[in-house]
Amino acid sequence: MKKKYLLTSAALAVLGTLAVLDQAHAQTLLPDTVVTATRIPVPADQVGGAVTVIDAKELARKQRRSLSDALLDVPGTRVVQLGGPGHQSSLFVRGANSNHVLVLLDGIEISDPSQPAGAYNFGNFFLGDVGRIEVLRGAQASTYGSEAIAGVVNIVSAPAVENGRALQAEGGSFGTFNQAGRVTRVGEKWAVAASLAHAKDGGESLTARRFVPANGNEEEDSYENVTGSLRVDLAAADNLDLRFVAHAFQTRVELDPTAEDPNASSETRQYYARLQGTSSFYQGQWLPTVGLNVTHVKRGFFNYPDSLANTVQATQDTGKRLKADWRNDLLFFQDHQIGVGIEYEHEKLDDTQFANFSGFVISGASKETAATRTAYVQDTFNWSDKAFVIADIRHDDNTRFAGKTTYRISPVFLLPSFGTRLRGAYGTGFRAPALFELFGSTSTSTSASFRGNRNLRPEESTTWEVGVDQTFLADRAVVGVTYFDSRIKNLIVAAGTPTTPNNVQEADINGVEATLKVAATPTVDVTAAYTFTASEIAATGQSLLRRPKHKVDIDVRWQPSPAMNLSALFGYIGTTRDAGFNGGTVYRGGYAVTGLRGDWQLRDDVTAFARIDNLFDNYYEVADGFRGQGRSALVGARLAF
């Protein structure tokens, strides 16, 4: 029954797409190149996996301010943000867990080694100087190692291409006031880009109204973020290019660990840096790249006595990662591009806790480390410019576990006479347990509430997908359909009293992504995506938490004049199974949200813009007990000079 339902959903999506395409004329918007698939630029039509590229122009048109916002309408994904801007945000890709996605920023892995499950918090990342985001779906562990079971989100900062300055400010509902500035300088052999951004949101309560005490008042859960970045590109010699990038984030967010907790908050400081050198030998046939990454994340949670509880709680978590890598691209063969590399990564967790439960004091601390040594080989094969294969194999040796070998092969076949691209991929993956899952602990006034499990085994996956992209109307419109299937063994699930992670389950996941890019008129573009996902525990058939079966996204852009863009954004999330706010499991009904965007170029150097989110002020819960943000309106302006 499940397979029949899945195939029916796919057929309906394709038929609906074809009906629209018969009336349309548009240009194909496949990106020219992507980097994430092989770590170096590769033509997009040679990549077998499904990839979505969001460039700076699209980010500006949709007025995306945070990374979680930018990923909302990516096919095959679901963003769960527990509150307004800046609050805890998780990304689920193709039904896998939120810690099965690797997040890179200018080649730096930015997940926090001290996070309880190792998942990245997308709510803390405001975009600032981002020039491009690539989302590659499907198993990528053989290219990127642990955590890339479901995909990779690759964020690239914008390089300096000319001298310039830019300022931007906006404000509106919920006390929102955001500002950003950027300066670029370019010399004969160097280029520098620096940016600074500040975001502040007074917020509304993140607790669902049904959990607000009858005699209590809703309290605002605010957020503030300061983001800075620096990128320096230097041609140090005829055959040596250097690049240095640095990013810093400082955030503070108010939380509700219990309904309408008035003084619980979290503060985070994140620092990332990478120094990279690229050279060229033998007339450009050997291109070695050496890099060094530094990650430093410090998180603090504070909860003081109030009318709800006479409890003092404070935790400080610090995660550090040092990574060195050496990659060699070998172009000696006409039809093969070989990549050979080694990596070394060292992670550290430093956790301290203090709690005073009306005089009963609990404190604790833990420090743990892990190191991983890696070697990999990759081959990008081109046969007659109509068949392409990307194949790679990787071995990771972690100090906590036995070595793991993963591999992946992704072929592409082009049929130019029919405007058709056939693609597929098959790969294996793994995720090593996070340090907190192994060694972490938390306590209540009476007992332990979480205890790590030193006996955890790595999660392992097998994934395959097949897809087709078809162009119409003289290559001016395109539709894509992808079927994906994966099985994850040794899935880590935390349960029991105290909560303890164990390898107790296997997950079966399959689904369909259908996408459409078309223009109804010369001034109206339509982009639509539908995703069906069946993500279940193999033994019981129960759906994994917070993963909807159905997701729909529609983006309609109207350009009434060369200086004006108007957009309507629609998103629908279907029913999901969820952990209950007060325990147990529940089913949350689906919800839909509509937004409007507009920008007007008043002069060559001045652009005004405005947006409305949740146009119809729909009340919904993104997760059980956590409300989605109500209707909001913002206006702003951008000055470039």
- Can you say whether residue 63 is alpha, beta or left, with left for phi > 0 and alpha for psi between -120 and 50 degrees? left
How many angstroms separate the CA atoms of 628 and 638, rounded? 28
Query: For position 14, what pLDDT does the model report?
Result: 35
Please give the residue that has the higher pLDDT: either 365 or 215.
Answer: 365
Three-state secondary-structure class, residue 616 = coil
196-215 burial: b if 16+ Cβ within 10 Å, else e: bbbbbbbbbbbbbeebbeee
Backbone angles phi, psi at 210, to 5 degrees: -70, -10
Query: For position 19, what pLDDT does the model report?
Result: 33
Each residue's pLDDT tens digit, 198-242: 999 987 888 888 887 655 667 788 899 999 999 999 999 989 999
How many angstroms separate the CA atoms of 549 and 575, rounded? 7
Which pair of structure tokens corresponds to residue 275?
Answer: 């120094």
Q: Check whether 190 has a pLDDT greater than 70.
A: yes
Q: In one letter, which amino acid is 470? A: Q
Three-state secondary-structure class, residue 37 = coil
Each residue's pLDDT tens digit, 114-139: 988 889 999 889 888 899 999 999 98
Each residue's pLDDT tens digit, 3-20: 433 333 333 333 333 333
Whether cis (ω within 30° of 0) applies to the bond prior to 498 is yes
Please give the residue that has the higher pLDDT: either 338 or 208.
Answer: 338
Report which DSSP code applies to 143.
H
Backbone angles phi, psi at 20, to 5 degrees: -70, -40
Backbone angles phi, psi at 282, to 5 degrees: 55, 55
How many angstroms separate the CA atoms of 259 and 542, rounded? 28
Mean of pLDDT values over 408-412: 96
Of the listed ranges 242-251, 305-314, 524-533, the least confidently predicted one is: 305-314
Query: For position 483, what pLDDT does the model report?
Result: 98
Strand partners, 166: 182, 640
Instruction: Report the 10 Å Cβ neighbour count for 120.
Output: 23
- Report the run of H or E that residue 9 belongs to, with start and end: helix 2-21
Mean of pLDDT values over 170-174: 94
Domain 2-304+344-640 has CATH 3.30.1300.10: no
Query: For position 308, what pLDDT does the model report?
Result: 64
> pLDDT-based confidence at 35, cuts 50/70/90?
confident
Three-state secondary-structure class, residue 134 = strand
* Percent of the chain's residues with pLDDT above 90: 66
Which pair of structure tokens corresponds to residue 345?
Answer: 């990564």
Query: For position 513, what pLDDT does the model report?
Result: 97
Which pair of structure tokens corresponds to residue 220?
Answer: 């605002």
Instruction: Report the 10 Å Cβ neighbour count for 583.
Output: 7
Mean of pLDDT values over 630-635: 95
Measured CA distances, 431 to 108, 327, 396, 557, 588 (Å): 18, 22, 11, 40, 29
Q: In one letter, which amino acid is 315? A: T
Look up the pTM and report it: 0.91
Termini Cα distance of the chain: 60
Each residue's pLDDT tens digit, 248-284: 999 998 887 777 777 888 899 999 999 999 999 999 9
Q: Check whether 79 has a pLDDT greater than 70.
A: yes
> pLDDT-based confidence at 426, cuts 50/70/90?
very high
Backbone angles phi, psi at 17, to 5 degrees: -65, -45
How many angstroms separate the CA atoms of 131 and 341, rounded? 27
- Report the run of H or E that residue 435 belongs to, with start and end: helix 435-439
Which pair of structure tokens corresponds to residue 74?
Answer: 């990516």
Query: For position 160, what pLDDT does the model report?
Result: 93
How many angstroms separate the CA atoms of 94 and 101, rounded? 10
Find out whether 87 and 253 touch, Cβ atoms under 8 Å: yes
Rounded to the nearest angstrom, the gap between the alpha carbon of residue 457 and the centroid of all alpha carbons in its chain is 25
Q: Check whether 517 has a pLDDT greater than 90.
A: yes
Query: For position 447, what pLDDT does the model report?
Result: 55
> pLDDT-based confidence at 31, cuts 50/70/90?
low
- Can you say whether residue 49 is alpha, beta or left, with left for phi > 0 and alpha for psi between -120 and 50 degrees? beta
Mean of pLDDT values over 609-637: 94
Report which DSSP code applies to 160.
P
Q: Which residue has the tokens 């995909």?
A: 151
Show me where the domains of the chain are located. Answer: 2-304+344-640
Q: CA nearest 439: which of 345, 521, 348?
A: 348
User: What DSSP string describes 219-285?
Assistant: ----EEEEEEEEEEEEEEETTEEEEEEEEEEEEEEEE-SSTT-TTEEEEEEEEEEEEEEEE-BTTTT
Strand partners, 142: none
Q: In one letter, which amino acid is 316? A: Q
Which pair of structure tokens corresponds to residue 537?
Answer: 């525990």
Q: What's the chain's average pLDDT?
A: 88
Q: CA nearest 373: which of 415, 414, 404?
A: 404
Measured CA distances, 201 to 232, 572, 594, 597 (Å): 31, 25, 21, 19
Rounded to the nearest angstrom, the gap between the alpha carbon of residue 523 and the centroid of all alpha carbons in its chain is 31
Each residue's pLDDT tens digit, 565-594: 999 999 999 999 998 888 888 998 899 999
Find out whether 195 and 229 touch, Cβ atoms under 8 Å: yes
Which pair of structure tokens corresponds to residue 501?
Answer: 């992670």
Torsion of CA 589, 552, 510, 115, to 10 degrees: -70
